[in-house]
Homo-oligomer: A and B are copies of this chain.
Amino acid sequence: MGKDFPTRAENYSQWYQDLVIKADLAENSAVRGCMVIKPYGYAIWEKMQAILDKKFKDTGHSNAYFPLFIPKSFFSKEASHVEGFAKECAIVTHYRLRNAKDGSGVEVDPDAKLEEELIIRPTSETIIWHTYRGWIQSYRDLPLLINQWANVVRWEMRTRLFLRTAEFLWQEGHTAHATSEEAIEETKRMLDVYTDFAENSMAMPVLKGVKTASERFAGALDTYCIEALMQDGKALQAGTSHFLGQNFAKAFDVKFTNKEGKQDFVWATSWGVSTRLMGALIMAHSDDEGLVLPPKLAPIQVVIVPIYKNEEQLNALNAVADKISAELREKGISVKYDNRDTHKPGWKFAEYEFKGVPVRIAIGPRDLENGTVEVARRDTKEKSVMQITDLTLKIVHLLDHIQDNLYRKALTFRDDNTHRVDTYEEFKKKLDEGGFILAHWDGTAETEQKIKEETKATIRCIPLNSKKESGKCIKTGNPSEMRVVFARAY
């Protein structure tokens, strides 16, 4: 814990990495590119999981679990999927170690070579659609609405804690439908679920849109996404929902008998969010004094710190703090009362500020006399004195208020950093300042690629809510019907 780390302005990237490590969220492991998610970080992830899992179940989905391993041959079955996915991955080739003859330890037993290599899942469409073949015969078996919480591995060369790691945790929904319309509806429904989660739980505004052809998921007909803006002006893709058409059903021969008694291939979707959301959450709200967590995802929502000089005072404070804690917990608020005598109040204040605890309550002997406490907000750093009598209700409201405030602050930031530009010069200038750029594009992959090569900007999405507007492509001058969203991205 401490402030010996750079400000965002000094070095945003280092600020992020130091914050993740010093706030005990995660650290690099002994295995290249793989992280250890520490208890405090994992507690935030558990809160995310609980909220998302409930939303998935409320929309009719069930959880299941499919194997970690995928036979190599499965990747060759869906042509565009193999191009996009099967290359950089962890490959299991052997199943036994033996003692090294020189006594130096263990070595791979060459006699235990697998007939067919197994790939650690980078995503599970192939193994799941292979399985669905046995589950789906008739329209009565549809829709099949399944989600999986799992670890996946993509052998990334450059990794950053939470944002890009070789192994990460995620959920992947895989659904099967009788019609194209139902599958598209599902794709959009899950995008809405992610949007709701990002905005209302993470307090992070997102743009809803659809990816261009070249940014689509490998094997999808359409990839929908939510895009968030980080404080350094870079975009972050926070969730995707794919309409897969009949591609995987055809690759794995999954047919069903429809109501008319005819055979047809099944329509598919898949959708996922990952521990990458932890990176988004950290970067969306935190400041130069450390983490800032929205109350809905904070493992500790309220911390109570006693200020005392002797044991008698502490005993009196303990009684009051226990009562306050009990009343807050009654309202479903997670409270920590930190009366450790190994650390001073000032150290504790700094610690919980750094860890992003939304509300701090300090209570000392004079407060006891007055029937008051001092309440400090992490988001604005404001302090106020409150009466103990109606404290619980005020804290409940304060937590709601902080949640709203974080959202509004992030929204204002995004609005201030979203620009409409009409020339390539202006485009490049604004890009360097950071933010979302709304610009006309001629709709070709060539132009998109050229802009990317020249500026490192990608089309984050074609916004779902955008209006038709005639214009000229910033790069080619060719006609365009709509602005798309460009940004440099994580």
- Chain A interface residues toward B at CB < 8 A: 27, 29-31, 34-39, 42-43, 45-46, 62-76, 82, 86-98, 104-108, 117-120, 127, 130-131, 134, 140, 146, 150-151, 153, 155, 167, 169, 342
Contact A96–B92 (Cβ < 8 Å): no
| Shortest Cβ gap from A326 to chain B (Å) | 16
Beyond known contacts A39-B62, A39-B146, A108-B117: 14 more, CB 8 A cutoff: A29-B66, A30-B127, A31-B69, A39-B63, A42-B65, A43-B62, A45-B65, A67-B167, A72-B107, A89-B97, A95-B155, A120-B120, A140-B342, A150-B151
Contact A97–B119 (Cβ < 8 Å): yes
Contact B91–A94 (Cβ < 8 Å): yes
Contact B95–A30 (Cβ < 8 Å): no
Given the complex of chains A and B, what is the CA–CA distance between A76 and B82 in angstroms? 37
Chain B residues within 8 Å of A42, by CB: 62-65
Contact B92–A106 (Cβ < 8 Å): no
Given the complex of chains A and B, what is the CA–CA distance between A67 and B37 in angstroms? 9
Contact B65–A169 (Cβ < 8 Å): yes
- Give the 8 A-B CB pairs with smallest separation, nearest first: A76-B105, A39-B62, A34-B67, A37-B65, A91-B94, A95-B155, A31-B69, A93-B93
Contact B31–A118 (Cβ < 8 Å): yes
Given the complex of chains A and B, what is the CA–CA distance between A29 and B64 in angstroms? 13
Given the complex of chains A and B, what is the CA–CA distance between A74 and B30 in angstroms? 10
Q: Given A31-B70, A69-B167, A75-B105, are A64 and B39 also a contact pair (CB < 8 Å)?
A: yes
Q: A96's contact among B68, B71, B131, B155, by CB below 8 Å, is which?
A: B155
| Shortest Cβ gap from A251 to chain B (Å) | 12
Given the complex of chains A and B, what is the CA–CA distance between A37 and B147 in angstroms? 12
Given the complex of chains A and B, what is the CA–CA distance between A74 and B31 in angstroms? 11
Chain B residues within 8 Å of A98, by CB: 87
Cβ contacts A to B, 19 pairs, < 8 Å = A29-B66, A36-B64, A36-B65, A36-B66, A38-B64, A39-B63, A42-B63, A42-B64, A46-B63, A68-B151, A68-B153, A72-B107, A76-B105, A89-B96, A90-B95, A91-B96, A92-B93, A93-B108, A140-B342
Given the complex of chains A and B, what is the CA–CA distance between A46 and B35 in angstroms? 25
Q: A106's contact among B36, B82, B127, by CB below 8 Å, is which?
A: B82
Chain B residues within 8 Å of A91, by CB: 92-97, 108
Contact A86–B97 (Cβ < 8 Å): yes
Given the complex of chains A and B, what is the CA–CA distance between A42 and B130 in angstroms? 19
Q: A36's contact among B67, B92, B153, by CB below 8 Å, is which?
A: B67
Contact B146–A118 (Cβ < 8 Å): no
Number of copies of chain A assembled together: 2
Chain B residues within 8 Å of A74, by CB: 30
Chain B residues within 8 Å of A127, by CB: 29-31
Q: A105's contact among B73, B153, B167, by CB below 8 Å, is which?
A: B73
Chain B residues within 8 Å of A43, by CB: 62-63
Residue of B nearest to A104 (CB): B76
Q: Given A30-B127, A63-B39, A63-B43, are A96 and B105 also a contact pair (CB < 8 Å)?
A: no
Chain B residues within 8 Å of A70, by CB: 31
Contact B36–A72 (Cβ < 8 Å): no
| Shortest Cβ gap from A169 to chain B (Å) | 7
Chain B residues within 8 Å of A87, by CB: 96-98, 106
Residue of B nearest to A90 (CB): B92
Residue of B nearest to A73 (CB): B105
Residue of B nearest to A63 (CB): B42
Contact B71–A30 (Cβ < 8 Å): yes
Residue of B nearest to A146 (CB): B39
Chain B residues within 8 Å of A118, by CB: 31, 90
Chain B residues within 8 Å of A75, by CB: 97, 105-106
Chain B residues within 8 Å of A27, by CB: 131, 134
Chain B residues within 8 Å of A95, by CB: 88-91, 155
Chain B residues within 8 Å of A151, by CB: 68, 150-151
Given the complex of chains A and B, what is the CA–CA distance between A119 and B70 in angstroms? 17
Residue of B nearest to A151 (CB): B68
Residue of B nearest to A93 (CB): B93
Given the complex of chains A and B, what is the CA–CA distance between A74 and B105 in angstroms? 9
Chain B residues within 8 Å of A117, by CB: 108
Contact B67–A31 (Cβ < 8 Å): yes
Contact A167–B30 (Cβ < 8 Å): no
Chain B residues within 8 Å of A72, by CB: 97, 105-108
